Structure 1
């Protein structure tokens, strides 16, 4: 069941961020179950990362003026996990939470992958993996030319780092010292067909990003306070781009979905949905 939105208080408040992450997880399951399709695994693993950004004082945006020029930008490079972003946008007040139940329907503003111009609060269309960091660089470069203090956050999957374009973009950001870019890697170790290490290993990530000239931070991606502090460190770093390597669990919060590749892109049936929601309610 989708609950009514409450007034959002923006601060470094662990309880508020944790409650937001729990609500996002409820929304993800409800959306994907109602649609009968979607990507719950990677959406659930990113819930705490998105909550620590959108439900703290870290991310500047205005739901009443979604195109405010000096807002921070969020690029969901792994666009198949759109439910996690749609929930955050709805709960921040960009559109009514009840609209989340229209996920993937014809004529809905909430398509299976983000579509810029259709959904309030979206800064970029996405879906083809590997492109988000390049887009983030372009936006960040333009913002700097305008002398704007706005920042650009780009959420990627670890399997996505197998795309060569990511590393071309990493070189560009480092060469131009784009300190207004913060990349976030949802490092859950699992992609569509199995584990990242079995398909195409990307480890060791810290050494690779550092060799490309990036400031590297690491955190438990399910510890909202640790994630918040990492974002604060990224914002304070002025010598180039920052990447947060966030260690997460695919399907986090639902025991039978955790660390299971089959839940990358499968909707729960009625029984599974009730069981999953019961687990989440027990965490409240």
Structure 2
């Protein structure tokens, strides 16, 4: 309600059906209509109390909905007009007994004042046609291999760039735009940026509304940890077959000093569990830009996981990315273990490869790019080429992350084992490098795990 008041949404009408009853008990305020009215007015809404069973009063109230958001507070009685049911408790979700049904149906029919068939008047003109298919970046990425950039910043740059390709790209943020870098989009496309403040549930709901009837391509951003507050809205968006894109920054212990309340360590598990979801986990600026472009053209719930630390660009600007297609970053004919990492841990895996190379131990390093769907074929091919050994390393809890995704992908395949490195307890504040080491997901931990797998053979 605060959002509607702040933005003076004078075309918004909310209908509150105040029928007194809850599911198991009467509602706390029951029919105290004046209290509902005062609460709505406190949020800057025009509030009108009506008899919810009167079509005339409802029509009159709609005519008064002008100049500010309006709440029509309708006093109703559950089961109105049904003998033995009206305004009674204990009827929630229950069918009428057969011995009551016929009598009640007749009672309802007797109250119909006119049996004329009412035909809705069709709109005088169609809504303007909108094309949101095949939205492409106006140019290739412009990064240089070896340069460093945080994927959260690359996200902001990519989204602003994509905004020039289509005026149907919109951005929403939960008062974190200077951290998620969606502020870059706001600067370049101010009329298509919606500040939703610290109300993530409402932000996701607004995105779903904006995406209705394929009118826009919305991108929501906040810290990945804060999307946990909106899980109900996200799952309902999937049930509603909505197409929305969510970018969660500040994932994992690698955010450092901000501490565990800000560290997303459950987000992969959450988004992997959502039907229709696609989960992107880009590891450099080029991959992030491609993820944004692909998300804009992918149906369902898309989640892009971005990181706080600056890491090196590892891909050429013309690298092709596809949903469900992993990348082999490092490879030789003598590889002994396949190591799979993403984001910060992919760079730790590459650093571990340098350490191990001095010991004449070669590893194959894979970047999954999308955690859902996972590139099962490439993972299996790589595992078979490295004596069946897979090591996953992730800045996430063990449950529901990359390790479990990979294990599910290869389950039942003979001769393949998966070893997981992940955050195994509630973390703490500290420097990023210290925390990666503390939780056993840095280059040294990866190198040690590889040595252990080889020795075990």
Larger radius of gyration: 2
In terms of fraction of residues, the more strand-rich structure is 2
In terms of fraction of residues, the more helix-rich structure is 1
TM-score by length of 1: 0.49
State the structure with bigger RCO (CA 8 A, min sep 6), 1 or 2. Answer: 1
